[in-house]
Amino acid sequence: MPQFASNHSRFGGPVPFFDPAAKLMSSLQGVEGFPLTSIRPVSTARRALALLIATTILTTSAVSVCAQEFATGTVISDTEIEATLQAYARPILQASGMPPDILAINMVVDDSINASATSGNRLFFNTGLILKADNSNEVIGVMAHEIGHVAGGHVVTAGDGSAAPTAISLLSTLLGVAAGIATGSPDLGIALMMGGQRAAIGEYLSFSRGVESRADQFALKALEGSGQSAEGLYTFFNRLAGEEQLITDRADPYVRTHPMSRDRMATIRAHVERSAFKKPGAAPAADTRPAKPGDTIVIASDHEGVELKSVIADELTRMGFKVKDLGTATNISVDEVVAKAVDTQQGKAGVAISGGGSASSKTASSHPGVRAVLANDEAAARAGREQNNANVLSVGARVMDPEQARRLMKAFLDTPFQDNNPVPDLEERHQRMVAKLYAFLKPQFATLQRYPESNVSVPARYARTVAYYRRGQFDKSIPLVDGLLKDRPKDPFFWQIKGDMQLSRSKPDEAIIAYREALKYMPNASEILNAKAHAMIESANPTYAAEAQETLKRSAALDPENAYTWDLMARGYALYGDQGMSAYAAAEKAMLIGQFGDVARYTMQADKLLEKGTPTWYRLQDIKITAQNHMREMKERRR
């Protein structure tokens, strides 16, 4: 489940989570003077900030999730939410030729509508933006715009605009540490720190209208290239446009940091009107307007489909279409030939003819601009158009005679596309994300009003599950999640929240069962791996020792900069009697959060206990030397 703490805390988990200073400071990544690194800050200011923040971090014992409150400015880490936001970003990145895993996307607890990009390819979205968006398409539109800032290097060239936020954040960190030490309450220090972090995020990117317009152009091109409507971008901006006239704090931060203009709004509106993707969530396709006589249809076959291809080409010509014959595929599959042609808009639709047809359908649909349907009868061809906006028809030559092929072409091309409502899967994921956020961030009564018992949709049931769970009402939350699992037995996030509930009830064995199920369907989720290992450690059952250690090693390999993983590892090794590895893991944790004195202490302990010459021992020497260098430099700076 989601994690919150000083900067990252666990949404639904039973324990606030010990996270690295590198991640705590991620909201400052890219602010001039603070380009963060995980192990080795390279300036005095960065080292000081790492140490100041480390002062306020603590490990806590298990507490009920009911007691958790999520302060404004908290940065959320949640596997499900991050997966949803990455799903929004992936088609945009692909259409723009950017690597699909280039972005880190974070959510900040804040009811105001705002989003921003920082260097390090990091995006921040306020929870208020997600909760107030009408649908996934609006969030996708804003994301495309923010990715435009990343792609255009705008966060690198922002220059002097970063100086003030840097001062705000550093000052708030100093005040937070002082308050925490003076009162003996780290929570107070954390609250002050995160207030300043929020100010830094909100004020950092005050771009010119020219820069915003360039980001708009990127967004429009990327949305069109990924087969998505820009209507959401327009409606979102239009909703905020009136606030630009407000010269008060009542205007949402997005308006202050992303200045609107009539020209920009007119440009976006004109694009929406011209676009083939006029409604939110149009199914990805090279062009969602159905092909009409006079348009080009691309066609190709393998050797088995040559004769049928000739029949189909003649029929298409008779129907008034232009036919572009891509030839006979030899060294490349026919589905690839047709899919690439449609995806690059060489034709408004395509026909792929192979012996059986099934391979063509599956491979063609893997292209972002293509929706393929395998149809051997007219009903299947119509259904492909009506249900999936199919623009490529896959035909099996061995099961199709010429007359059937002619009828099939007519059924396929005469059937209009569906009304372009949001794509069901993506929209449901969006609604689940909204329900989850709302239930964790709002009072229970508000959640139950918004999602009453009469609403039996999956998002509504999910929201009620979380609302009851947060209050420790397991007699209500567990039956609800069991009902969700009955409907969605392979959903990793429903299994995850069930595991969190069981761990909160001090039932680690039941929690382990649930986490194992979640990992069957999402094996590389470090958050769930950590939760399973945590449950095993809490059980104090020695039979779990080997599995817990392997689980944490895997989690550390996936996310080596997560200090919580190393903290769990240190506890686990100590519990199971391996003091050398426990000291080594504690040294890794201390290194990540900049506690170099602790690094020296733990490395000294581990050095005495670990076998010399092993990879772990060599890694320990690296940590020791790095910490010694840091402490030496700090001592010299004080002179």
Which residues, given as ranges, of the chain have pLDDT below 50? Answer: 4-67, 158-198, 200-207, 244-248, 281-288, 359-362, 365, 420-424
| From the candidate CATH numbers 3.40.50.11610, 3.40.1400.10, 3.20.20.80, 3.90.1150.10, the one assigned to the domain spanning 296-414 | 3.40.1400.10
Domain ranges in the chain?
A: 296-414, 426-638
Q: What is the DSSP string of 424-477?
A: HHHHHHHHHHHHHHHHHHS-HHHHHHHS-TT--SHHHHHHHHHHHHHTT-HHHH
251-295 pLDDT, tens per residue? Answer: 555 555 555 556 777 888 888 888 877 655 443 433 446 678 888
CATH class (in words) of the domain with range 426-638: mainly alpha
CB 388, CB 406: distance < 8 Å:
no
CB neighbours of residue 166 within 10 Å: 18
CB 70, CB 9: distance < 8 Å:
yes
pTM comes to 0.64
CA distance 535 to 312: 61
Q: What is the pLDDT of residue 43?
A: 32
* Environment class of 433 (CB within 10 Å of its CB; exposed 0-12, middle 13-18, buried 19+): buried
DSSP H helices in 33-135:
44-55, 79-95, 127-132
CB 139, CB 88: distance < 8 Å:
yes
Integer angstrom CA distances of residue 225 from 93, 350, 369:
10, 18, 8
DSSP H helices in 559-612:
563-575, 579-592, 596-609
Q: What is the pLDDT of residue 304?
A: 85
CB 377, CB 400: distance < 8 Å:
no
- Copy the structure tokens of residue 403: 């007359």
DSSP 289: S
**Alpha-carbon radius of gyration of the chain:** 28
* Environment class of 210 (CB within 10 Å of its CB; exposed 0-12, middle 13-18, buried 19+): exposed
Q: What is the pLDDT of residue 452?
A: 95
Closest CA to 292 of 467, 133, 414: 414
CB neighbours of residue 242 within 10 Å: 11
Phi-psi category of residue 227: left, alpha or beta, with phi > 0 → left and psi -120 to 50 → alpha: left
CA distance 205 to 155: 7
Beta strands in 283-321 (DSSP E): 296-301
**Contacts of 199 by beta carbon, 8 Å cutoff, 6+ apart:** 165, 168, 169, 172
For 125, the 3-state DSSP assignment is: strand
Closest CA to 375 of 356, 394, 389: 394
For 487, the 3-state DSSP assignment is: helix
Q: Please, what is the angle between helix 209-225 and helix 79-95, to 10°? A: 90
* Environment class of 613 (CB within 10 Å of its CB; exposed 0-12, middle 13-18, buried 19+): exposed
Q: What is the pLDDT of residue 211?
A: 79
CB 484, CB 468: distance < 8 Å:
no
Q: What is the pLDDT of residue 445?
A: 95
CA distance 635 to 639: 7
